[in-house]
Each structure stands twice: as structure tokens, then as C-alpha cells.
Amino acid sequence: MRRFKKAITIFTLIALILPLFSFNHPVNAVQPNLDIKAKSAILVDAISGKILYAQNPDEPLPPASMTKMMTEYLVEEAVAKGKIKWDDVVTASEYAHFLGKGDGSKVGLAVGEQHTVKELTYAMTVGSANDATVALAEYIAGSETNFVQMMNEKAKELGMTNTHFATATGYPKKDLGKYAPAIEGESVMSARDAAILAWHLIHDYPSSLEFNKTAKYTFMQGQNPRELKNYNFMVPGLIYGNLVQGVDGLKTGHTSAAGYNFTATAVQNGMRLISVVQGTASEKERFFQTKKLLDYGFGMYELVDLAKANESIKGYETTPIKNGKEKEVTAIIKNTFSVVVKKGEKELYKPIAVFNKNLEAPIKTEQKIGYVTYEYKGKEKYDYLNDEIKMKGNMDLIAKEEVEKAGAIRLFFRKIFSVIGGIFTGIVDGIKELF
């Protein structure tokens, strides 16, 4: 009877304790209730990709014109690699003209009309012009089909696992008739993937923000100027420019299937955040739901410096190297290591150094020899956009001074002393065992 009562007590305790443990992997241990009225949403730190809030972040949904972020990325990449130039002249095709006279955002390109790559990029980013977007896609890849294949390849390369592009514009393929690209399905992209794409656009091509933060752009068609207004009404100078300070991108989108979408980025006090909302009910709501996300992020988090540039990390001042005149090299941080933390939690973060394995002389001054990351001892269980972006949030450790390779004689005697030392250590250990 006593054993039975003991067993009941144990099972009761287990029943009480088990609910306190979570065997899932939540985005955050304490997910705030922001009442985001959207099908999906995400808020991330634009340094490390740390997710500060998420709501259904991995469901593939129609992205509409947020698709153009990938087109913009590939335009920037083509310029950076020297494949095209900003002042290259692009001639509008029949397909571009078809989009220029149809439904959706456009600048009304005529067949044979010519504009530079830069002009068309402004039309795409500020005015969300579908005709300008297709003109750019055809100029870079020869056809929209080829360009969309490039988009999907780049999506895989960037780690966008819940994305498929069917057009360069986000325009529904089913509405394009004979101009529809030879790509299966329709375009979908998750909120996480939109944030990954935004992260890379900002980090890989920071000059892209010059396009995205432009409130108004004059698009010249012959002698006729056409004033384009940014569909991102949160850019300073537009109707919702005062909702949140520091908004300088990125891209809106709307179709009947997608609802109203918006990938935003803003910077305050040196801290940049990226937010995404998909499937909101109205044009106005995509901005007000974005405001909820950004207000939460800037209100609850801050950017702090865990370690200063050109200083060593306490406890990790040096690291061993092989075959050098010196046996160790001094390690310092290349640049100040900054981390986004919940306000009041700075003391819960400790910088730690991770050194490259098998470092060997010669070592040059400022050579990368590892990186700085951190240990967090708080209660939150943060997820990240992906591991690659998380790693890029770390800071390089570099050698403070040069270490030359040791000569053959020095290495010979070092090895002899090492062997002798090992023998004496063995003798000492043997004597210890006797007692």
C-alpha cells in the first residue's frame, strides 16, 4: 500500500511538472500579443537576422509586387558584376507595352520606347511599374522566362526555402495570356523568405535603399514628365511618413489573391529592423500593422556594443599557433561588435571568441584568425532567419601583430624540449601513482 501511494505521488508530480516544459521550438519563449491583423508577419534584427516576432512565418503566400525585390537584387548584382551599366539604354518590347497599357502599376511604355537601366529601376522601385520591370528582366536575361529561372536559382542560393517565382513582377501569370513565362505554377513567398531577401538586398547592395526610400520620382517620356509616387506611404514626405521614424524601404504589393503586403525596413538610433506583413485587409492596414511591429521592436529592443574595435575579448586575448617564432598571437576585434538585445538584458550577453582551427605561421597583421559571437543567459529562445545570416552577424577577430614562421633550428629544439618535457611529465605521473 505504501509503495502504491509513493507511485501515485510520483505520477502526480510528473503530471504537474511536464506542462512547464516545452518540447516544441517556438520562435520566442515569450511571444508578445501584438494583435497583428495579417495572414503572416515577421520582425527581425537586420544585423543577425534574430527573429523578434513571428506569426505564421513559413507559409508560402502570394507576394504580389514584393516579388520585385528579387528583380531589384538581380539588377544590382548584374551592375556590380559589370554585366550591365546604369546608363545602358533599354528598348521596351511588345510584352512591356502590353503591361504598360493593362491593369496594375505601370509607366505606360510604348513599343520601342527607350530608357536607361537606372530610370527603369526607379520606375520599378518607386512606381512598382510592371512594364519597367519586364523591360529590365528581358534586358538582363533575354526573356522573362530566363530571368525567372535566375530568380528561383538565387532564391535557393539565399536560403529561401518556401518561395517560388513565376513572374518577374508578381503579376499573376494566369492573366498574362501569350506573354506568360514558361514557368510552372504561380508566385509564392513566405514572410521569413521575404525578410531573408530584404536582408540580402540591404547588406549585399546597400545603395539599393537610394531607390527604395525615394518618395517621388519624375519619369520622363519624351518631353512629358510623369510623376511617380512611392507606394510605400511610410517613406518621409508621404501620407504615413510620420507613423514610424526612419523608414527607408522596401516594397509593397497587392493583388486580389495576395491582399495587401509590405516588406519594410527602418533604422532608429543605429538599430535597423526588417518587418513583413502579408495578407492584410486594406492598403491602410498594411502600414498600420507594420507600425505595430516596428513600434514593438524599437520600443522593446536596443543596439548595444558588447566589445569595442581593436580590443581583445577578456579570456580570449591570445590563441596558439603552430610553427611560429612566437607560440601565440594576440587577437583583437576588427570592428565594434554590436548586438540587438531586449532593453535591460545587456548583462545577459557575454562576448566569446571562436578561433580558426590549426592556425599556423606565418600570420600577417590584421589577418582573420576567428570571430566573436556571444553567449546569452536569458529566458528567451530566439530563432534566426537562417544559420548563414546568423553567422554574418558575428564580428571578425584579427591578429594584432605579425608572427613570422620559426626557422628549422628553432623548431627542432622546440620539438626536443617538448619530448623531454613529456618524458619528465610521464616520470612525475608514475611517481604520483606509487603514492
pLDDT tens for the chain, residues 1 to 435: 444 444 444 443 333 333 333 333 344 545 789 999 999 999 999 999 999 999 999 999 999 999 999 999 999 999 999 999 999 999 999 999 999 998 899 999 999 999 999 999 999 999 999 999 999 999 999 999 999 999 999 999 999 999 999 999 999 999 999 999 999 999 999 999 999 999 999 999 999 999 999 999 999 988 889 999 999 999 999 999 999 999 999 999 999 999 999 999 999 999 999 999 999 999 999 999 999 999 999 999 999 999 999 999 999 999 999 888 888 999 999 999 999 999 999 999 999 999 999 999 899 999 999 999 999 999 999 999 999 999 999 999 999 999 988 666 655 555 665 556 555 455 435 434 433
Q: How high is the pLDDT of residue 29?
A: 44
All three cell numbers of 65, joined, read: 509586387
Question: Is residue 381 flagged as an active site residue?
Answer: no
Query: What span, in angstroms and rounded, lies between the C-alpha atoms of 133 and 110?
Result: 14
The one catalytic residue in 40, 48, 50, 68 is 68
Q: How high is the pLDDT of residue 161?
A: 98
**How many CB atoms are located within 10 Å of the residue 143 CB?**
15
Q: How high is the pLDDT of residue 221?
A: 84
Q: How high is the pLDDT of residue 12?
A: 39
The DSSP bridge pattern shows strands 188-189 and 163-164 to be antiparallel
Alpha helices in 235-310 (DSSP H): 283-300
CATH, range 308-399: 2.60.410.10
- Strand partners of residue 272: 267
All three cell numbers of 217, joined, read: 520620382
Show me where the domains of the chain are located. Answer: 40-300, 308-399, 408-435
Query: What span, in angstroms and rounded, lies between the C-alpha atoms of 68 and 133?
Result: 8
The one catalytic residue in 40, 93, 128, 190 is 128
The one catalytic residue in 39, 40, 48, 65 is 65
Query: What span, in angstroms and rounded, lies between the C-alpha atoms of 84 and 72?
Result: 13
Q: Looking at residue 172, what DSSP letter applies?
A: -
Cα 278 versus chain centre, distance: 18
Q: How high is the pLDDT of residue 421?
A: 53
All three cell numbers of 258, joined, read: 495576395
Query: What span, in angstroms and rounded, lies between the C-alpha atoms of 131 and 136?
Result: 9
Question: Which H or E element spans position 370?
Answer: strand 368-376
Q: How high is the pLDDT of residue 414?
A: 52
40-300 CATH fold: Beta-lactamase (3.40.710)
Burial group, residue 300, by CB count within 10 angstroms (0-12, 13-18, 19+): middle
> Angle at CA 75, nearest 5°, toward 70 and 80?
120
Q: How high is the pLDDT of residue 416?
A: 67
Alpha helices in 63-129 (DSSP H): 68-80, 94-101, 117-125
Q: How high is the pLDDT of residue 1?
A: 45
Q: How high is the pLDDT of residue 412?
A: 58
Question: Is residue 207 flagged as an active site residue?
Answer: no
**112-127 tens-digit pLDDT:** 999 999 999 999 999 9
Grid look-up 494583435 returns 35
Query: In this structure, are residues 187 and 62 in contact, taking their beta carbons and an 8 Å threshold?
Result: yes
Question: Is residue 22 flagged as an active site residue?
Answer: no
